[in-house]
Amino acid sequence: MIQVKEVTKTYPAQKNQQVVTALKGVSLQIERGDIFGIVGHSGAGKSTLLRLLNGLETPSSGAVMVDGKEISRLASKELRLARQKIGMIFQHFHLLWSRTVRENIAFPLEIAGKAKKEIDEKVDVLLKRVGLSERADAYPSQLSGGQKQRVGIARALANDPDVLLCDEATSALDPETTASILRLLKEIHQETGITLVLITHEMSVVRAICNKMAVMEGGKIVECGEVEAIFKNPQHPVTKQFLKELTVSDASGETVRPGQATIEIKLDQLPVLRKLAQTRPITFRLTGGEITGAADGDRVRVHVDGEQEHVHQVLQELNGEVESRVE
Ligand SMILES: Nc1ncnc2c1ncn2[C@@H]1O[C@H](COP(=O)(O)OP(=O)(O)OP(=O)(O)O)[C@@H](O)[C@H]1O
């Protein structure tokens, strides 16, 4: 679906500054239907790579192919048509503040020259799909962050894209809202088979929905492959660091291998785990901790084991409900 071949991207020197080489010979293959996570620290080149995928930037050398077309070589009309098939959502939503939810979602359909009746029907379907039918006439300023991102998703899907690019789409959201947006993206993926490309600095996002991933550092891809294999056996120091940082505050657990995690919780929060164990094929095993009567509550370590999918769900549900961290 997407092939990035030996792409280099340099930005010309600004005054008193040097030329910036944002991408240094990046090659990448994303198959149709993949949910592909691109992880990296700030400045690693993730956004530049994403902008190349939808033709907002052109490579200094190398080629970017999307659905068999070399994006950087398309004439403007062809590029416009190709971009209708590549949706994008953003960290800060990029909604039109003077338009209602309905009008925001209608916007790309208007640009594509669709008839009013077709637009109205399509917008109704999209509103329903993202759960915002009741808020169709609200303005973005009247919505929560999660609702704004739902508008962003509906708008991005308006022209039935084959690819959805997500630029830190959950980074401005709280953990609970993040989980609900990731769930929505996963459902849309299951229903449509759309190819999703997510850039993020959060491994918890990758763990929640991606099947493949690439780790970027200094304009290069330093590790790439199946999420399960990389989480099990990370090779590059940057990947290892990301996995270590995983969930300190955001996703409540570290995946030891897919289907296993270790969490640390307050002793008096154990009943929450009991309830989860009653409703899911999952086991919790106490592995450590001390009872000292500490004023802020004693903590215990718990090993979580089960089907990967269930473990992910449980970690997401724990998120926010149980104060936890990994050592
Ligand atoms: N338009 C631009 N002009 C000049 N330099 C740029 C431009 N866009 C990005 N860069 C530089 O390219 C490098 C990669 O930036 P990029 O935004 O792609 O990284 P990133 O991994 O997405 O980081 P972040 O998460 O902070 O957005 C950085 O050094 C950045 O300063």
pLDDT at 247: 44
Cβ within 8 Å of residue 37, ≥6 positions away: 198, 199, 200, 205, 206, 209, 210, 212, 213, 214, 227
**Ligand 1 nearest-atom number relative to CA 168:** 25
- Neighbour count for residue 216 (Cβ, 10 Å): 25
Is any ligand 1 atom within 6 A of the Cβ of residue 145?
A: no
| 149 and 72 together in one domain | yes
| 231 and 116 together in one domain | yes
DSSP state of 39: E
Whether 327 is covered by a domain: the verdict is no
Cα–ligand 1 centroid distance for 103 (angstroms): 32
pLDDT in tens, 24-62: 999 999 999 999 999 999 899 999 999 999 998 999 999
| 190 and 274 together in one domain | no
Cα–ligand 1 centroid distance for 170 (angstroms): 19
| 83 and 154 together in one domain | yes
Cα–ligand 1 centroid distance for 219 (angstroms): 9
Whether 294 is covered by a domain: the verdict is yes
| 300 and 160 together in one domain | no
Q: For 263-296, give one letter per residue: b (16+ CB within 10 A) or e.
A: bbbbeebeeebeebeeeeebebeeeeeeeeeeee
Whether 316 is covered by a domain: the verdict is yes
| 147 and 291 together in one domain | no
Question: Along the 327 residues of the chain, how does pLDDT read in single tens digits?
Answer: 999 999 999 998 877 778 899 999 999 999 999 999 999 998 999 999 999 999 989 999 999 999 889 998 888 888 888 988 999 999 999 999 999 999 999 999 999 999 999 999 999 999 999 999 999 999 999 999 999 999 999 999 999 999 999 999 998 888 888 989 999 999 999 999 999 999 998 888 998 899 999 999 999 999 999 999 999 899 999 999 888 776 433 344 444 445 677 777 778 778 888 888 888 888 888 877 777 777 667 777 788 887 777 777 777 777 655 544 443
pLDDT in tens, 151-176: 999 999 999 999 999 999 998 888 88
| 76 and 146 together in one domain | yes
Global model pTM greater than 0.80:
no
φ and ψ at residue 125, rounded to 5 degrees: -60, -45
Whether 326 is covered by a domain: the verdict is no
| 109 and 245 together in one domain | yes
Whether 130 is covered by a domain: the verdict is yes
Cα–ligand 1 centroid distance for 201 (angstroms): 14
pLDDT at 296: 66
Nearest 5°: the CA angle 38, 228, 174 is 55
What's the CATH code of the domain at 101? Answer: 3.40.50.300
Which domain range does residue 137 map to? 2-250
Query: 7, 8, 11, 170: which to mutate for ligand 1, most atoms within 8 A of CB?
Result: 11
3-state SS, residue 157: helix
Whether 255 is covered by a domain: the verdict is no
| 266 and 171 together in one domain | no
Query: 47, 56, 199, 215: which to mutate for ligand 1, most atoms within 8 A of CB?
Result: 47
Domain boundary among 203, 232, 250: 250
Domain boundary among 206, 224, 250: 250
What's the CATH code of the domain at 275? Answer: 3.30.70.260
Is any ligand 1 atom within 6 A of the Cβ of residue 40?
A: yes
Task: Say how many domains are in the chain.
Answer: 2
pLDDT in tens, 259-275: 677 777 778 778 888 88
| 236 and 283 together in one domain | no
Domain boundary among 197, 217, 250: 250
Indicate if the alpha-carbon torsion angle 222, 227, 228, 232 is positive or negative. Answer: positive
| 97 and 206 together in one domain | yes
| 243 and 298 together in one domain | no
Whether 118 is covered by a domain: the verdict is yes
pLDDT at 323: 47
Using CA atoms of 256, 261, 267, 271 in order, give the dihedral in degrees to the nearest 10: -160
**Ligand 1 nearest-atom number relative to CA 41:** 21
Whether 102 is covered by a domain: the verdict is yes
pLDDT at 75: 86
